[in-house]
């Protein structure tokens, strides 16, 4: 039996063979990079694998960041603070992108990464950790919104590029 033209039109496009692997870095991997990892897991779908790490990890996620992620329904029990050294090991997954976060790239970022990923910096408002509770909450929300906007754009750009590649290959 022949496939109908209608069926062919609504069939989903083929997925890229490999998902992009993205490592988000900040100094202590307790706020911004954790939020970015959770957000890319939410918005990146099957096209992206998100990771996060810190130059000097704090070994715990900031409670305000965890609460915000839970409130926004992007919390993942698997989130944990970890060192960027885990991603320098010979058996570590090879990243396509390393994205440092904060006002400036954190000091101590390794200059050489396995697989030679693209290294970029996103200037994100640093959350206020020492201040009045309202000021803290607002600054965490601001950083979350900035990260979510950047991540949605990042996903859109690379999904479109992948679709262009598929279209030209066909």
- Average pLDDT of the chain? 86
Partners of 102 in beta bridges: 123
Place of tokens 């400036």: 104
What would the two tokens of residue 127 be? 């959350």
**pLDDT surpasses 80 at 160:** no
Q: Which three-class secondary structure state does DSSP give residue 122?
A: strand
**pLDDT surpasses 70 at 167:** no
Q: What average pLDDT does this structure show over 132-144?
A: 93
- In tens, the pLDDT along 68-109 reads 999 999 999 999 999 999 999 989 999 999 999 998 898 899
Q: Which three-class secondary structure state does DSSP give residue 45?
A: helix
- The matching CATH number, chosen from 3.40.50.1220, 3.40.1190.20, 3.40.50.2300, 3.40.50.1820, for 17-169 is 3.40.50.2300
Q: Which pLDDT score, from 0 to 100, does residue 1 have? A: 45
**pLDDT surpasses 50 at 8:** no
Q: Confirm if 143 and 125 have CB atoms less than 8 A apart.
A: yes
Q: Confirm if 109 and 55 have CB atoms less than 8 A apart.
A: yes
């Amino acid at each position: 039996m022949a496939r109908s033209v209608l069926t062919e039109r609504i069939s989903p496009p083929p997925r890229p063979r490999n998902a992009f692997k993205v490592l988000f870095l900040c100094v202590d991997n307790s706020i911004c990079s954790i939020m970015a990892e959770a957000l890319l897991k939410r918005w990146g779908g099957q096209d992206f694998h998100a990771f996060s790490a810190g130059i000097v990890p704090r070994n715990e996620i900031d409670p305000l960041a965890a609460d915000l992620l839970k409130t926004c329904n992007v919390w993942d029990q698997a989130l944990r603070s970890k060192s960027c050294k885990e991603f320098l090991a010979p058996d570590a997954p090879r990243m396509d992108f390393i994205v440092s976060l904060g006002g400036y790239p954190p000091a101590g970022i390794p200059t050489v990464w396995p697989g030679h990923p693209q290294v970029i910096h996103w200037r994100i408002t640093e959350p206020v950790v020492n201040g009045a509770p309202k000021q803290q909450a607002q600054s965490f929300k601001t950083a979350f919104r900035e990260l979510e906007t950047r991540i949605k754009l990042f996903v859109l750009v690379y999904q479109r590029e992948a679709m262009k590649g598929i279209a030209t290959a066909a």
